[in-house]
Amino acid sequence: MKINENYKKLEVSYLFSTIAKKVNEFIRNNPDKKVIRLGIGDVTRPLCKSVIEAIKSATDEMGTFEGFRGYGPEQGYDFLKEEIQKYYARKNVSLDLDEIFISDGAKSDLGNILDLFSTDNTVLIPDPVYPVYVDTNLMQNRNIIFLKADQQNDFLPMPDESIKADLIYLCSPNNPTGAVYNKSQLEKWVQYALKNNAVILFDSAYECFISDSNLPSSIFEIEGAKSCAIEFCSLSKTAGFTGTRCGYTIVPFELNFDNMSLNKMWLRRQTTKFNGVPYIVQRGAQAVFSEKGQKEIKENIEYYKRNASLISQTLKKHNIYFTGGIHSPYIWLKCPNNMKSWEFFDYLLQNIQIVGTPGAGFGQNGEGFFRLTSFNTCENTKEAMERLDNLLT
Ligand code: PLP
């Protein structure tokens, strides 16, 4: 027996365990101090009423002979796919129901999609980045080229014609930088992909934070994208489903390579290796798209966005460079006085008891940067920003 040697190439991520260790030690030594966590990458507000009602009623159905459901369609129930189809139609994107695949979240599909692609492919990944893209490719031994995102390009790297890539990861609004591509920037990426016979893996997990209708919230708003892109989305940040688990992946019919349809390959992959998202959860997800559900989830998103705005205002006041904070729950800032990411982490923890995430944990280009998030209460965010304001003053 031989193991998959590629796992040896994975770096152990010490990011969140080191943060926890440092914070716990600080609390042990300073039990009277109130620590405010603005490093959280998980939602904190509860599921909305419509979702809870739908989940309860689906649970009751499952306890009856008439309403009980066993294995469902692996690619999801039509009642949910139809809602997603309508959601895209409102963005002027027309989808066939069979182009929509319901998943247990974006993370699984982002990893699993690699089953469809040869390990000979070269992958283009922006740096800094959500680490899942890197690790899932390392596990399969693909060649990775990192694309530099930095202050010069406002953390929105554009295609470089001298680089030949087969798979391209784009995440907009971005984690960790909160930066959002505009339409003309995404058009350039689509043109690059079409020219190079490449596929864009577009992660739109944070699309619900976009409030400017001129900014694309789906890659399929760009002409030609259906011939070169797969989109991954999730209800995790949209509706607080991080623990409930439901997402969706769009694989257009137009994606044909070597006489094979990626849509048919993905269907084959899913029906072979996946048995679908629980009926109860899919009913909850359906409620997210109802008129009442949309209103309720938007209230939560607006709550987070007000926190993000508080953070942005404080940074602006002190002339600190940052991206995000408007169409994103994340604020990505340059550490003042050229401090390194971990240095700034310690500085904030020791002086004002605020916890954030050191940018260096998201890749080489994250060094010298820091991620704050809006996933805390309004009261705590306000208090944290008062402390930061005083410290910087
Ligand atoms: N994509 C990005 C950029 C993320 O930040 C996350 C989660 O934090 C995910 C995908 C995973 O989302 P899900 O909970 O749907 O698996």
Give the three-class secondary structure for 232: strand
CA-nearest residue, atom 1 of ligand 1:
205
Predicted pLDDT at 29: 97
Q: How far is the CA of 203 from the centre of ligand 1 (A)?
A: 8
Is 128 touching ligand 1 by the criterion CB < 6 Å? no
Stretch 43-72: mean pLDDT: 98
CA-nearest residue, atom 2 of ligand 1:
205
Where are the strands (E) in the chain, listed by range? 36-37, 100-103, 122-127, 143-148, 167-171, 199-203, 229-234, 247-250, 256-257, 260-261, 322-324, 330-334, 354-355, 357-358, 369-373
Is the separation of the CB atoms in 297 and 288 below 8 Å?
Answer: yes
Structural domains in the chain?
A: 5-47+292-392 (3.90.1150.10), 51-290 (3.40.640.10)
Average pLDDT, the chain: 97
Residue 40 has pLDDT above 90, yes or no: no
E strand or H helix that includes residue 108: helix 106-112
Stretch 366-390: mean pLDDT: 98
Helix, strand, coil % over all residues of the chain, rounded to 5: 45, 15, 40
Stretch 258-270: mean pLDDT: 98
Stretch 186-209: mean pLDDT: 98
CA distance 153 to 95: 33
Predicted pLDDT at 13: 79
| Beta carbons within 8 Å of 97's beta carbon, 6+ residues apart | 78, 81, 82, 85
Is 242 touching ligand 1 by the criterion CB < 6 Å? yes
The tens digit of pLDDT for each residue in 312-349 reads 999 999 999 999 999 999 999 999 999 999 999 999 99
- The alpha carbons of the chain give a radius of gyration, in whole angstroms, of 21
The tens digit of pLDDT for each residue in 124-183 reads 999 999 999 999 999 999 999 999 999 999 999 999 999 999 999 999 999 999 999 999
Is 107 touching ligand 1 by the criterion CB < 6 Å? yes
> Burial level of 187, CB count in 10 A (0-12/13-18/19+)?
middle
Predicted pLDDT at 379: 98
Burial string for 215-247 (b: 16+ CB within 10 Å, else e) reads bbbbbbbbeebbebbbbbbbbbbbbbbbebbbb
- Ligand 1 pocket, mutate which of 15, 133, 206, 234 (most atoms under 8 A from CB): 234
Q: What is the position in ligand 1's atom list of the atom closest to the CA of 241?
A: 14
Is the separation of the CB atoms in 168 and 157 below 8 Å?
Answer: no
Is 235 touching ligand 1 by the criterion CB < 6 Å? no
Predicted pLDDT at 340: 98
CA-nearest residue, atom 5 of ligand 1:
175
* pLDDT over 70 percentage in the chain: 100
> 11 pLDDT band (50/70/90 cuts)?
confident
* pLDDT over 90 percentage in the chain: 97
Q: 379 is written with which tokens? A: 């009261």
Predicted pLDDT at 281: 98
Give the three-class secondary structure for 374: coil
- Does the N-terminal peptide bond of residue 176 adopt cis geometry, omega within 30 degrees of 0? yes
Stretch 1-19: mean pLDDT: 91
Predicted pLDDT at 149: 98
Residue 12 has pLDDT above 90, yes or no: no
Q: Identify the CA nearest to 280 among candidates 100, 98, 80.
A: 80
Stretch 291-303: mean pLDDT: 98
Is 171 touching ligand 1 by the criterion CB < 6 Å? yes
Is 177 touching ligand 1 by the criterion CB < 6 Å? no
Backbone CA torsion sign across 3, 5, 6, 9: positive
pTM: 0.97
